[in-house]
Amino acid sequence: MERILVTGAAGFIGFHTAACLLRRGAHVVGIDNMNDYYDVSLKEARRDLLCKEPNFAFQPLDIEDQKGLMGIFTERHFDRVIHLAAQAGVRYSITNPNVYIRSNLVGFANILECCRHGHVRHLTFASSSSVYGANTDIPFATDQKTDRPVSLYGATKKANELLAYSYSHLYGLPCTGLRFFTVYGPWGRPDMAVYAFTKAILAEKPIDVYNYGQMRRDFTYIDDIVEGVIRVSDNPPGPERPDAYFGSVPYRVYNIGNHEPVELEVLIETLEKHLGKKALCNLKEMQPGDVLETYAETSDLQKHFGFKPYTPLDTGIERFVEWYADFYE
């Protein structure tokens, strides 16, 4: 039975990814430091659901702990690693930069070292649409320059891509980076717009709408993200599939987005429809670190893996609202 490590397993994407792998029959080891960036009880609820599965093992661990991480790799002998642990959030990176340096840089370097010494067959890791930063070429394509990040979070994710490439080049470690675009859905992160807006609307409290609502996001439903992650993880890059840019180096990077940017006002209207309540909007100026629009170009994902995200916003929001009502009753 294949043994797969999922880091950040109690997180939003990590939880769904681990659950999907378990349904496929894999043996999954999940690690998470269970930090308090947002409500720990939500992370505990995700973890507890996974722990009911006989082929799942959970280990509380911080990826900054190099010795502890190496110990797990030595003991478990992973075939593949899906690295989703990170300090997330654009705005939080402006006020708490040190957390991002430790988790997203030091922690990621530890993962790379463990994968190298553990002879892992494929490291699939989470990057972000934030790497595009000040790029104004729409839609965002992976062959565009990404050297102008407008947030520290985006800079750390770009650094992850560069570090992974160097490990692929130097040590032959197969690595694939996935740039996620505004992920939402059941069990989501409370700091993300869909979750935060839902909570505020139900409580009849105002929501903060930045740049006076003149923003567009490529909202991507969680099931689409997970399917993309697992399809990519199943197919490590290698010299038999050379790339026009990376050549024979076993490294690739892909966007996973819905390829359909949505105006912020449309998101709010869709939430109002499914919640049966009107939103009270507090219009504000653009925040530092934000961008006006995200829009994923996904033709490479479709070409190489026969997949593109397909869940419409209306369907995804309906499913999220149903989950939210059930979870918080």
Supply 192's token pair. Answer: 């993300």
Six-digit token pair at 265? 């006002």
Q: What is the structure's pLDDT at 213?
A: 80
The kind and range of the H/E element at 68 are helix 66-76
Residue 112 is given by DSSP the state H
Q: What is the CATH number of the domain that holds 44?
A: 3.40.50.720
| First-to-last C-alpha distance (Å) of the chain | 39
Q: How many CB atoms lie within 10 A of CB 95?
A: 8
- Whether 90 maps to a domain, the answer reads yes
Q: What digits encode the pLDDT tens for the residues 295-317?
A: 899 999 999 999 999 999 999 99
In a domain, 197, yes or no: no
Residue 153 a catalytic site member: yes
Residue 144 lies in a domain: yes
Query: What backbone phi and psi angles, to 5 degrees, belong to 174?
Result: -65, 125
Instruction: Please tell me the pTM assigned to this model.
Output: 0.96
Please give the torsion angle defined by the CA atoms of residues 157, 121, 109 and 43, in that order, rounded to the nearest 10 degrees: 70
Low-confidence ranges of the chain (pLDDT < 50): none
Determine how β-strand 206-210 pairs with β-strand 251-256. Answer: unpaired
- Number of domains observed in the structure of the chain: 1
Q: Which residue in 37, 92, 132, 153 is the catalytic one?
A: 153
Least Cα distance to 217 among 143, 148, 138, 299 occurs for 138
Asked whether the beta carbons of 179 and 144 are under 8 A apart, the reply is: no
Partners of 124 in the beta sheet? 82, 176
Residue 87: inside a domain: yes
Q: Residue 103: its pLDDT value, please?
A: 97
Maximum C-alpha span of the chain: 57
The pLDDT value recorded for residue 283 is 86
Q: What is the pLDDT of residue 239?
A: 76
β-bridge mates for residue 293, sequence order: 216
Q: How far apart are CA 284 and CA 290, in angstroms?
A: 13
pLDDT, position 327: 95
d(CA 139, CA 135): 10
CA 100 to chain centre: 15
- Residue 285 domain-assigned (yes or no): no
Q: Are 5 and 27 in contact (CB under 8 A)?
A: no
State the amino acid at position 273 in one-letter form. K
Pairing between β-strand 216-217 and β-strand 251-256 as defined by DSSP bridges: unpaired
Residues 255, 140 contacting (CB under 8 angstroms): yes
- What residues have CB less than 8 Å from 316, skipping those under 6 apart? 184, 185, 219, 221
Q: What is the span of the domain harbouring residue 169?
A: 3-181+220-258+295-310
Residue 210 lies in a domain: no
Identify whether 318 is part of a domain. no
Q: Residue 132 domain-assigned?
A: yes
Q: Which H or E element spans position 50? A: helix 40-51
What are the phi and psi torsion angles at 135 (to 5°)? -60, 130
